[in-house]
Amino acid sequence: MDADGGTSARHAARRVGPASDAPSRSMQHPGSTERSRSTTTMSALRIDVADLLARSRSRRPVQLTMAVDDLGVGGLRIDAPLVLDLVLDRVPQGVVVHGTIRAHWEGECSVCLRELASDVEVSVSDLFEHHPVEGETYLLEGHVIDLEQLVRDAVLLDLPLVPTCESLGLVPCEPDVALVDDDPDTGSGDAPVDARWAALSELDL
């Protein structure tokens, strides 16, 4: 979302790749000294922004590391804490939240059922306003914003629907396939001929 336009932009995401390797990014904001750090629960996603509403063009960085209950889709699950690196900006319409959310998911390959895991980093830029547009902006409730729905929307929409080894840059896998006529005891695999009809098979009809 463009802070000056007052509309919500789509979440842009970058997969970091098979779990573990990409370092988390820290957004630097010159002139800003306030920074909130904590490892906590979902209640921390309700943030009082009275100070921002009182001052035009004010800004506040927010960093949180937190576990989120029941976050996952299909066979994918997110048990590790999320890392939020956000900035809250005061705009005429309300408050814009932008920054990144990092998550680590685990699941199974949809082809070979091998255990998979990977990191995802989602960029968000969304408006909180007193009269939100459904599906586009979020509610600014008095002087409080609740980031829970934003976090869930951003992360869940970026999880792979059909994860595979190949999609994560691993060696492509193949499903187990039972081959017909693979038993050497069956010879060619043809069914035995009934002796009563053997003579008929020799006739040229």
Cα gap 88→79, rounded to integer Å: 26
> How far is residue 110's CA from residue 108's CA, in Å, rounded to a whole number?
6
What are the tens digits of pLDDT across the range 16-36? 444 434 333 333 333 333 434
Answer for the pair 173, 166: CB distance below 8 angstroms, yes or no: yes
pTM > 0.85: yes or no: no
> How do the domains of the chain map onto residue ranges?
12-19+34-167
3-class SS string, 68-95: CCCCEECCEECCCCEEEEEEEEEECCEE
- 8 A C-beta contact, residue 103 and residue 127: no
Q: Which residue in 81, 134, 141, 131 sits closest to 105, CA to CA? A: 81
H/E element, 17: strand 12-18
Q: Residue-wise pLDDT tens for the chain (205 aa)? A: 444 444 444 444 444 444 434 333 333 333 333 434 433 444 789 999 999 999 999 999 999 998 888 888 888 999 899 999 999 999 999 999 999 999 999 999 988 999 999 999 999 999 999 999 999 999 999 999 999 999 999 999 999 888 999 888 888 887 554 444 455 555 555 555 555 555 556 666 5
Q: Which long-range contacts (CB under 8 A, 24 or more apart) does 50-56 make?
A: 50/143, 52/88, 52/89, 52/90, 52/95, 53/90, 53/95, 53/143, 55/90, 56/90
Q: Phi first, then psi: give them for residue 197, nearest 5 degrees.
A: -110, 5
**Which has the closest alpha carbon to 170: 104, 118, 122?**
118
